[in-house]
Amino acid sequence: MKIDWDRRTCARRGHVTYAPDEPRLRERLHAETALGGAWRCLRCGDFALGEPHGSGPADHAPLVPRGKVLRDLFVLRFLAIERAVRGVFIVLAAVAVWKFSNSQDAVRRLFDEYLDVFRPVFRHFHYDLDHSPIVDTVQKTFGYKHNTLVLVAVLLLAYALIELVEAVGLWYAKRWAEYLTVVATAAFLPLEIYELTERISWLKIATLFLNILAVLYILLAKRLFGLRGGHRAFEEERQSASLLEVEEAGGLREVSASGQASRHP
């Protein structure tokens, strides 16, 4: 089922109306009803009762996102939420690594104590806990130096900062954030592919698939790096989505057609 992004957004945020100074265009966007005057919404095209939200020359009308632009904004905000959640988890991981670096010996002793408790339980189910990949990874971590762990925590914080900056920028549909997201995500794709060669998991596959889709979608939909006409073509597409401009173009076509008819009786 096709989603009507315009009416969906108007249902949540309300209509956006504007009264242009140009008489012909003003007449096309205004209607009188039994309940009073109504103005056509610049987003969904429906008429809304009441005074317009703004007025002035047609070229000063607000640029209201419509149709494909709204769909793209929905996708960007979905990616923004995903980046924000990931950034928060990475911050928590960085804090955990930093705390672990300051109490490594105490954590090692606590881990060994719990390992001694759970070893007979797992042996009862014929599972060798000493050769578990998870236990092996944790024990290797205990061998890392304090400075190494601090460096890991700093790198994790830097990565989390990038993710959170991306999230804020994507939420507000900033073009610099789209470039940052594409470059940063593409830079980590080789590492994600390498991790799959080491050990395959559905979470890693899903993350890799989502990141590849995000890069391709933003590149093509936002026309980054000169693709599909670049920034100029993107702005032209956005401008053409304004209902007020469509109405104005329609009025000009009517004038042009009537002029041609008068010259050719």
**How do residues 51-97 score in pLDDT, each as one tens digit?**
999 999 888 888 888 888 888 888 899 999 999 999 999 998 888 88
Q: Rounded to 5 degrees, what are φ and ψ at 36?
A: 125, -175
In angstroms, how far is CA 104 from the centroid of its own chain?
A: 38
Identify whether the C-beta of residue 29 lies closer than 8 Å to the C-beta of residue 215. no
Percent of the chain with pLDDT over 70: 82
pLDDT of residue 232: 80
What gap in Å lies between CA 89 and CA 84, rounded to an integer? Answer: 9
At position 219, the amino acid (one-letter code) is L
Range of lowest pLDDT (76-85, 92-101, 159-168, 248-257): 248-257
- Treating both helix axes as pointing N-terminal to C-terminal, what angle do 146-171 and 175-198 enclose, rounded to 10 degrees? 140
Range of lowest pLDDT (35-49, 180-194, 247-261): 247-261
pLDDT band per the 50, 70, 90 thresholds, residue 179: very high
Comparing CA positions, the residue from 186, 188, 193, 179 lying closest to residue 159 is: 188
Name the DSSP letter for residue 126.
Answer: T
Identify whether the C-beta of residue 177 lies closer than 8 Å to the C-beta of residue 166. yes
Q: Which residue has the tokens 């061998």?
A: 143
Residue 242: Cβ within 10 Å count: 20
Is pLDDT of 161 > 90? yes
Q: Which residue has the tokens 């925590």?
A: 153
Q: What is the CA radius of gyration of the chain?
A: 29
Q: What is the mean pLDDT of the chain?
A: 81
The model's pLDDT over 96-124, given as tens digits with 9 standing for 90+, comes to: 888 887 777 776 776 677 667 777 777 77
What gap in Å lies between CA 51 and CA 106, rounded to an integer? Answer: 69
pLDDT of residue 258: 43
What's the rounded mean pLDDT across residues 135-164? Answer: 82
pLDDT band per the 50, 70, 90 thresholds, residue 247: low
pTM of the predicted model as reported, rounded to 2 decimal places: 0.69
pLDDT of residue 164: 95
Domain ranges of the chain: 13-63, 66-220
